[in-house]
Chain A
Amino acid sequence: MASPLRGKRILDLGAVCRQPAHGLAASMASKLCMAYGAEVIRPLGPSGEPFRAAAPLLPQGGSALDAFLNHGKARDGHVPFDAAIGDSAALGEYARETTVKVRLSVYGPGEDPPTSELALAALSGLLGIVGEADDPPTRLAGHQLAYAAGLSACTGLLAAFLAGGEEIVDVSLFDVAVWLNWKGATGMLIEGMPLKRGNLRNYWQVMRAKDGYVALVYQEKDWPALCEMIDDPRLGDARFATTQARAANLVALRHLLEPWFAARSRADITRGAQSRRIPIGPVLAPVELLANAQYEARGALGPDAKPRLPLVWDGRRIDVEAFRAA
């Protein structure tokens, strides 16, 4: 079975970072390294595991966040390490001699003012463009900005290993957030066009169905199929004839569509849409994913339903659970 980081020892300084966002990013990056076969050591500071009481909590006690990120990591390990992941202070204290360092910061090396994922989302422009026009700016659920920084950190670390030799990989949480919002930044730089929450270009919407919600997602090319599915002659109006006209009449379009969606189940809507190749899908709660046929068929969740490394390598999962099973 593939195990690309087998034999590598990674120092996860996520528990001793000064700020939670840095700590979460380091924890995610080292979790990924563990799935790729590395041995991960996560030392604790005097106050212990910082995420041990972090939401969401498990009914039997403990934190699901801590369990998801840190299960399987060792507390102690002997030097030398092949790489260390942490903030500037933690790397200075624990990993001065480590060959490859992944250094998390807010804005760049040594620039670490107090922050949070919400503040980073606000500063990056990402927060302001998510949500509907009349609602407050909307934060993505969970710890998306820290985890995205963790994905970047892991990719940078792997690239440093491939290059060989000493390296410092710097991951700025702010840069990662702006990178996620590259369309906002690029649109502004090129066209002077700031994207706005609920803007008319952004016509994809969540619609209420009989038993929950569906995501109404479509492109120009899908419009005839959508009209055929809804089968309401009013959709033939000039108000809805072109992308531009639909954007200008988005509220009217929404009111017209609402009763059709509200009268049908998520499954019926999805079936009808998918048979016409319209990319509509049901809004599923985490509990609904536990018995999801697609996830079952692919083994996407582990024995305790923990999502596994989202990667099938030559037809097999390669993470720790797969390794144990083998």
Chain B
Amino acid sequence: MPPDARPLSGVRVIDLGWITAGAGTSTMLADLGAEVIKIEGPGAPDPFREWESAANDADWWNRSPFFASTNHDKRSLCLDLKADPGRAVLFRLLEGADVLVENFRRGVLASFGLDPATLRERFPRLVVAAISSQGETGPDRDMVSYGSTLEATAGLAALTGAGDKPVITGRDVNYPDQVVCLFAPGAIIAALLERERTGRGAHLDLSQRELTTFLIGEEVLAAAAGAPTVRRGNHDPLHPQEKIVRDGADWLVVNGATRTPVRDAAALIEAPEFKNGTAIGVTLDGRPAKGIPFRFGKRRLAVRQGCRPLGADNAAVLAEIGYSERDIADLQASGVIATAPRRKNTV
């Protein structure tokens, strides 16, 4: 590998991730240099394609800005995993892959014949990142949650809020979905390091609820030792003088003579440190995209290719794994591969 090659150059990732937790994890692997193929079913496209702001154009599924921002630097394969020939394609792709990322409802992957034991046995070098709300096991395994549900069940919401009432971050942040995209890529890379030593892949069972509790670990430890849990609101005991005060229609963080504005997004995007920062990148086709929360001194990390239209890479990906033009045409004709979802936009 050339010395300036990105850290995951040569690593191949199959991305079955949805919305943020799974898809964002795969994107960070792409940012680090991995080749990522995102697979969505014509009957089950990534639901992020139809969150609000997706325009009602003829190809609405390619129009969601949040989806596009998340899914840059990936190839797109639209493949029906409920059909036998579709699963055969997936299996062939997994034979040449290093990493599989998925955050389906628990049990869905098993219904495709890919339960954890089968995955480990059939693809012994594969690192599987199974990201879920509650984890693969336990009595709440099948509990359905979005990010903010987990803020509630993990203990974060109970401690958050300036008044008496717990606060969840809601749809605009969905905090547990964000932080898992910082943690899970690390776990995956750790498993790739372990594989260098042992030759064996791994099944990584990542519970977003557990991660959220881990991030208030000191509070759980204190509660277990019998300390009363204190809701501190906006008070940070490490900065006891600091407070939030009103400033006309706005708010300020005040600490002695230092006054920091509580910015809205309009002020944020005008700030020089935002423009110089790496949090939001720009794709080669000029669109803003979710960026990278660190930089490397010797290897340039950057957002590159924009989000591909659904199924835009069907033929190329299949040809690479040995499907002939005739095979590909047949799969297209039978609807196993597609370039549009089967259903209409529900928003």
- Chain A positions within 8 Å of B, measured between CB atoms, are 2-5, 20, 32, 36, 54-60, 63-65, 67-69, 107-108, 111, 114, 116-119, 122-132, 135-142, 144, 147-149, 151-156, 158-172, 174-191, 193-196, 199, 201-206, 208, 213-215, 217, 219-221, 243, 274, 277-290, 293-295, 297-298, 300-301, 304-315
Give Cα distance in the complex from A46 to B227, angstroms: 30
State which residues 195-253 of B face A: CB under 8 Å: 196-197, 202-207, 209-211, 213-227, 229-234, 236-239, 242, 244, 246, 251-253
Which residue of B53, B175, B267, B297 contacts A144 across the interface (Cβ within 8 Å)? B175
Q: Which residues of A contact B47 (CB under 8 A)?
A: 219
Interface centre among A64, A135, A283, A285 (most CB of B within 10 A): A283
Q: Which residues of B contact A190 (CB under 8 A)?
A: 53, 65, 69, 287-288
Which residue of B194, B210, B269, B294 contacts A189 across the interface (Cβ within 8 Å)? B269
Q: How far is the CB of B228 from chain A (nearest CB, A)?
A: 9
Ranked 5 nearest A-B pairs via Cβ: A305-B224, A141-B159, A168-B297, A155-B186, A178-B279
Give Cα distance in the complex from A125 to B279, angstroms: 13
A–B Cβ pairs within 8 angstroms, 24 of them: A4-B191, A68-B218, A118-B244, A119-B242, A122-B252, A123-B273, A124-B268, A131-B161, A131-B167, A136-B251, A159-B296, A163-B6, A163-B7, A170-B297, A181-B268, A279-B146, A281-B152, A283-B153, A286-B222, A289-B154, A289-B213, A289-B223, A294-B209, A298-B207
State which residues 133-183 of B face A: CB under 8 Å: 134-141, 143-146, 148-163, 165-173, 175, 178-179, 182-183
Give Cα distance in the complex from A176 to B197, angstroms: 31
A215 touches B268 (CB 8 A): no
B182 touches A215 (CB 8 A): no
Q: B280 on the interface (CB 8 Å rule)? A: yes
Q: How many A-B residue pairs have CB under 8 A?
A: 487
Q: How far is the CB of B179 from chain A (nearest CB, A)?
A: 6
A179 touches B279 (CB 8 A): yes
Q: Which residues of B contact A127 (CB under 8 A)?
A: 253, 262
A58 touches B227 (CB 8 A): yes
B155 touches A284 (CB 8 A): yes
Q: Which residues of A contact B173 (CB under 8 A)?
A: 126, 129-130, 180-181, 183
Q: How far is the CB of B61 from chain A (nearest CB, A)?
A: 16
Q: How far is the CB of A304 from chain B (nearest CB, A)?
A: 6
Given contacts A57-B227, A206-B152, A285-B229, contact A108 B276 (CB under 8 A): yes
B268 touches A188 (CB 8 A): yes
Closest to A36 in B: B190
B222 touches A202 (CB 8 A): no
Give Cα distance in the complex from A68 to B222, angstroms: 9
